[in-house]
Structures are given as structure tokens and as C-alpha cells.
Amino acid sequence: MNVQDIVNTVSQKAGLDQATTEKVVGTILSVMEHEAEGTTISSFFAKIPGADDLAHQYDVMAAAPASGGGFLSSLQGALGGVLGEKAGALVNGLAALKGTGLDMSQIQQAGTALVQQAEAAAGPGLTNQVLGSVPGLKSQLGLG
């Protein structure tokens, strides 16, 4: 099972269009990549062809688009700077997910479907190990 198969299944299960689903899945994978510990996330991505490319495409730590700014991006920058990359990745990822226009229940539904597909592709042990190293993401997706 590759990342496109996962996006297709999450899209169907969560009732979202393909582009939105790809952004949600890519953003969640990017947060995992930045927050999970080295070899665990490498092993996880190795089991899901294309996952690392999708995570890089929606990199939560890439420079934010020049549009807007304002209080939220100032807060994101400050939190990222104070708390380090890991917390910054989660804050940026949650902001990106909310920026899709989905409500939290839709994001949680997509996140749950993504985890189910990841478990099928990478195995429940490895998937839970990755999620265990990103507790903030688990709680935000209602998985914890």
C-alpha cells in the first residue's frame, strides 16, 4: 500500500475531496516526520512508499506563505522559537489543518482513517511507536 492508496481511502472514509485529503494526510505525515524519533519514522516511511515525499510537499516547518501574517503567525513563530522544532511542528501542523477549512471532527475523522491505513501498511506496532512519540498529535486527532 502506497501513500496514494492511503489518501484515496482516507478521502472515501472521511468524505473529503482528493486535494483536501492530500493536504491533511501530508500535513499529519510532516508533523510526524518532525516530531518522531529518527529511525522509527524512517522505518515507518519506508513501509509506505511516497509518504516522505508527501510529508515534504506539505512541510509544516517550511517558510509560511507571505500572505497574512498577523497574530497567529506571530504566535506560531514565538512558540516554535521558544519550544523548539518539535512543538513548532505541531503548532504549525494544527494551524495548517485548520486552514483547510475543515472542522475538528472532520480533521479527527481523517486522522483516524489515516492511522487505520498506516497500521495496515506499516503494521500496528510501528505505527503506534511513531504516534507514541508524538503525543500532542494523538490528543489533537482524538486518538489518545
Domain ranges of the chain: 3-140
Q: How many CB atoms lie within 10 A of CB 79?
A: 15
pLDDT tens for 59-87 read 999 855 444 455 555 554 544 444 445 56
Distance CA 73, CA 6 (A): 30
pLDDT confidence tier of residue 33, bands split at 50, 70 and 90: very high
Q: Residues 142, 59: contact at Cβ < 8 Å?
A: no
Q: Residues 14, 96: contact at Cβ < 8 Å?
A: no
At 133 the three-state DSSP class reads: coil
Chain mean pLDDT for the chain: 85
What local confidence, expressed as pLDDT, does residue 63 receive?
Answer: 57
Q: What is the pTM (predicted TM-score) of this model?
A: 0.84
Half-sphere exposure of 87 (CA within 13 A, CB side): 10
pLDDT confidence tier of residue 123, bands split at 50, 70 and 90: very high
CATH pick for 3-140 out of 1.10.3470, 3.30.70, 1.10.490, 1.20.120: 1.10.490
